[in-house]
């Protein structure tokens, strides 16, 4: 299955959008409105060698993570500029990093944007330097935010994941107030609609 089919867009829609945005650009990510393509459909498209990506077993609600505190262009396809994996936020909690990201005039990356980034630039997912996508959260019925935040990293093939998934791209989660020395917190400079 490809992105056109998943997003319900005509086959030429993404190609046309890329051409209008400048198909030779390497400084921006072509992204889709999260409503069009759920994370559960994007994750298996990631590849690391021959290993397909996967969603951890205890994240069956992955598609409920939606943009939170992030304004998106009113367009099915948009550009995300000035992407940063957030290595400088390794060993910072998402709560701490969000403050620094917004103070710098940047925006936290969405889960779907992170997945599309790995699909378009697989080497961005590097062992010991992976990233969280804290722009996507779940709001509970109580109005409180779920304390998990989505993250993309490389599986060690341990536990329930199984040895066959060692080195596969993994969509998992971390606690909002926890720190990880190997997980950055990804952000974007700006998002632009494609005219």
How confident is the chain (195 residues) per 10-residue block, as mean pLDDT? Answer: 55 55 71 93 96 96 96 93 97 97 98 97 96 97 96 94 95 96 97 87
Q: What is the pLDDT of residue 173?
A: 97
Q: How far apart are CA 154 and CA 46, in angstroms?
A: 11
Q: How far apart are CA 83 and CA 150, in angstroms?
A: 17
Q: How far apart are CA 42 and CA 118, in angstroms?
A: 10
Q: Please, how many CA atoms are within 13 Å of residue 125, restricted to the half-sphere of its CB?
A: 27
Count of structural domains, the chain: 1
Structural domain boundaries, residue 56: 3-193
| Cβ neighbours of 143 (radius 10 Å) | 6
Alpha helix ranges (H) inside the chain? 3-7, 11-21, 39-42, 94-103, 111-120
Q: How far apart are CA 178 and CA 60, in angstroms?
A: 21
The reply to whether the predicted model has a pTM over 0.85 is: yes
Contact status, residue 28 vs residue 144, Cβ threshold 8 Å:
no
Name the nearest CA neighbour of 55 among 150, 185, 125: 150
Alpha helix ranges (H) inside 37-170? 39-42, 94-103, 111-120
50: burial class by Cβ within 10 Å (0-12, 13-18, 19+)? exposed
């Amino acid at each position: 299955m490809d992105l056109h089919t998943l997003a319900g867009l005509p086959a030429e829609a993404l190609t046309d959008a890329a051409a209008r945005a400048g198909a030779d650009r390497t400084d921006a990510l072509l992204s889709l409105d999260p409503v069009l393509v759920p994370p559960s459909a994007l994750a298996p498209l990631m590849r690391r060698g021959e290993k397909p990506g996967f969603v951890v077993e205890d994240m069956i609600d992955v598609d409920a993570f939606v943009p939170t505190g992030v304004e998106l262009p009113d367009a099915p396809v948009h550009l995300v500029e000035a992407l940063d994996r957030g290595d400088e936020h390794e060993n910072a909690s998402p709560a701490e990093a969000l403050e620094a990201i917004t103070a710098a005039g940047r925006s936290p990356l969405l889960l779907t944007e992170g997945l599309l980034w790995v699909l378009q630039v697989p080497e961005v997912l590097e062992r010991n330097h992976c990233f969280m996508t804290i722009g996507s959260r779940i709001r509970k019925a109580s109005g409180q935010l779920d304390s998990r935040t989505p993250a993309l990293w490389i599986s060690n093939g341990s536990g329930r994941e199984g040895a066959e998934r060692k080195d596969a791209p993994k969509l998992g989660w971390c606690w909002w107030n926890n720190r990880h020395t190997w997980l950055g917190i990804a952000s974007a400079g700006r998002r632009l609609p494609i005219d």
